[in-house]
Structures are given as structure tokens and as C-alpha cells.
Structure 1
Amino acid sequence: MSETTTVAVLVGSLRADSLNRRLAEVLRDQAPEGVVLDIVDGLADLPFYNEDLDAGDAPAAAVALRERVAAADRVLAVTPEYNGTMPAVLNNAIDWLSRPYGAGAIVGKPFGVVGATPTPYGGKWAHADTVRSAGIAGATVVEDVLVSQSALEVDVLTDTEVLGRLTGAVQTLAAYQPATSAA
């Protein structure tokens, strides 16, 4: 019996037909054997993080997000870039996942980020901000799982070279093993 690796996927765009949503679905459908990509819906239902809301019973949407990510083995953000940074919905999700401080659902989870934008840089700034925020929140950022793809002159959903890089990133994230310290 083989072990399954579950990757919680956080999509940084709320639009139903967004390029990054469709990209997450393609990656889910082409996931390697033994890897399940779980696209986490409901990010639009999260209130903006506020410690007052989190002091007692957290909102149901936050509890659901935390449970899905806590149950996953890995986390992958698939996100566009908005005004040179990550979308607010993704930043807010990371904020909810980072709490309680030091013990949030994202703490210690191998984390990667990919995405596409119709800009020459393919979302590099948003992806760098996402990596920085997730790392500060306690995730274990996997350096080799960062793909920023321009969608200006290529169909990222069908181009075999682009899909090869993206599915390769998913494989790298799924196979990631943290370094063990020698005793």
C-alpha cells in the first residue's frame, strides 16, 4: 500500500474563471500518483484577520481553513499578482493560518508558490511576498518550488514546457523531506 501526500492549495484569486484557479485545477488533475491536491475553497468567506475575532471561538470559515491545512502534508499557493504584491485574500488566509502564534496550521508545513500573470514578470513580486509571509508565519518554504510564469505570449494551461515546470514544482513539493539534524 502506498502513502498519499496531500497538498492544500490556496488560490489567490476569487474569480471563478481566473487563470490561476484554472491552473490549480489542471495541476490537481495532473498530480503525480500518490499526490492529492486539495483546492481549499472558502477564502472569500474569511473575515479580515482580527485578534478580537480569534480570541474565543474563531469564525467558522477560519476554523475550516485551519482544519484543511492542518490535515494536509504540504501547502501550495497558486496566485496572481495584484498591484505588485500578493492578493489580499491570500495574505489574509496566511494571517489566519499563522495563529495561534508558533502553533498555527501552517507552522512547519512545506510550502511552495506558483502562478501566472499577464505581465512580463509573471508575478515574481507577489510570489516573493507570499514566500516571505509564509516563512514568517512558520511554514517551511521549499526554495525549489517557486514558478512565476508570464501569460503574455503563452497559454500556461496547455504549453507543455510551462506545465512541465509547474508539475515539476508540485512533484518537488510532494517529495520534499526536511533535513534531519545529526544527533
Structure 2
Amino acid sequence: MTTSNQTRVAVLLGSLRADSVNRRIADYLVAQAPADVSVEIVEGLDQVPFYSEELDGDSVPAAAAALRDAVRTADRVLAITPEYNGTMPAVLNNAIDWLSRPYGAGAISGKPFAAVGATPTPYGGKWAHEHARHSATVAGATVVEGIVVDEPAMTDDLLADPAAAGRLLGALTALVEHDAAAAA
């Protein structure tokens, strides 16, 4: 349960696989977050229909409305994602599309944002993370500069590596500590 003095971080998970490395990263950050930080994985991204203005009217689909509410009430947004074919997964792109509307006043507008994650390539998902940051910027988020954690998850025990786990926890800390007013 969050309290009013907690920083709430909404996690957009780019992998739908229940036991993915990125799901484990998200679960790790939920468990290891400082006491004054609430990390909440936004579930149900696989239930959000592909964005269409025809669906985005007076009766927005329930899954899209829940996504918007989760991000609107958060203080920060963290995308944790693998890389598919050199870019972010469609589920993450779709989530950002829904969060960008209505134009100029979407749920992600003005929210500090970062993208991290792991993928089984030597590049660690850097293109997916760059694309997520770019898309979030266009959607109105405030991308926190300097948070780059592109982990080449060559094994399933990435979080057993103290250096890798530390980089991921450090990214969360940097996102939480980002002062949007000072950066402006």
C-alpha cells in the first residue's frame, strides 16, 4: 500500500512472457525498492487493443482506461523491455500510443520516464530503449537523461550478477531522484 509521501513508479513491461528476464527485473525492482518508493507493474498490457481513434472516445476500452489510470496516478514511469527485431515490442509501443492521448494532455505527459532492460544479444536492447525513450518524448513524457542500462542477458541468472543488479537498482534510484523542476 502506498502512502502520500511515497514516490510511485509505474512499470510498463515490454515482455509478456511470465518468466522473462525482464519480468524478473521488474519483480526484483518491486522487491528491492526503497521504503519510500512504490514500484507497481502495470498488468494487462496484452489486453489493451491496438490504438485507434475510433476506440478512443467516450467509452475507452477498460484495459486502456486502467493503463491510463495507473500511469496518471504515478509519479514516474519506467519501461522495462527486451528488444524485438531491433526495436521495442509492439505491446510497449501500443501502451505509449494510448498514454499519449489526448494529444498534449495524455496520462504520460510531463512524467519523468526511463527505459531499461535486458535481451540475449550483445547490444542489451539499446535500440529498443532508445526507441521507447524517443516515443515517450513525442508522447509528452520527460525522459530522464543519463539512465542507460542495456544489459546483455546471456544467461537466465542476470540478477545473480551484483554489478548488473546494482545498475538496474541505480537506474530506478536515478529516476526516483530526478527533479523535474530543477531539470527544466
TM-score range, shorter chain: over 0.9
Separation in 2 of the partners of 1:117 and 1:56? 39
**Which of 139, 148, 151 pairs up with 2:150?**
148
Match for residue 141 of structure 2?
139
Native 8 Å contact 2:21 2:156 kept in 1: no
**Which of 145, 165, 168 pairs up with 1:166?**
168
Q: Secondary structure at the match of 1:93?
A: helix
Matched, 1:50 2:44: no
Q: Secondary structure at the match of 1:116?
A: strand
Summarize the Cα distance change of 1:53–1:26 in structure 2 as closer, same or farther, 3 Å threshold: same
Match for residue 38 of structure 1?
40
**Which of 89, 97, 100 pairs up with 1:98?**
100
Return the TM-score normalized by structure 2. 0.94
Question: How far did 1:180 drift?
Answer: 4.3
Q: Secondary structure at the match of 2:77?
A: strand
Separation in 1 of the partners of 2:181 and 2:74? 19
Q: Secondary structure at the match of 1:67?
A: helix
Match for residue 80 of structure 2?
78
Q: Which moved more, 1:54-63 or 1:74-83?
A: 54-63
Separation in 2 of the partners of 1:117 and 1:181? 31
Question: How far did 1:32 drift?
Answer: 1.6
Native 8 Å contact 1:10 1:77 kept in 2: yes
Question: How far did 1:57 drift?
Answer: 1.1
Summarize the Cα distance change of 1:29–1:59 in structure 2 as closer, same or farther, 3 Å threshold: same
Separation in 1 of the partners of 2:92 and 2:85? 14
Q: Secondary structure at the match of 2:115?
A: strand
Q: Which runs of 5+ in 1 are unaligned?
A: none
Equivalent residue letter for 2:111:
K
List structure 1 runs of 4+ shifted beyond 3 angstroms.
Answer: 179-182
Q: What does residue range 120-131 of structure 1 map to in structure 2 within 5 Å? A: 120-131=122-133
Q: Which runs of 5+ in 2 are unaligned?
A: none
Separation in 1 of the partners of 2:126 and 2:48? 25
Q: Which moved more, 1:134-143 or 1:146-155?
A: 146-155
Match for residue 108 of structure 1?
110
**Which of 4, 23, 26 pairs up with 1:24?**
26
Question: How far did 1:157 drift?
Answer: 1.5
Provide the identity percentage: 63
Aligned length: 182
Return the TM-score normalized by structure 1. 0.95
Separation in 2 of the partners of 1:153 and 1:8? 27
Separation in 2 of the partners of 1:93 and 1:181? 26
1:134-177 deviation digits (Å, cap 9, x = unpaired):
00000000012221110126832111001111101100101110
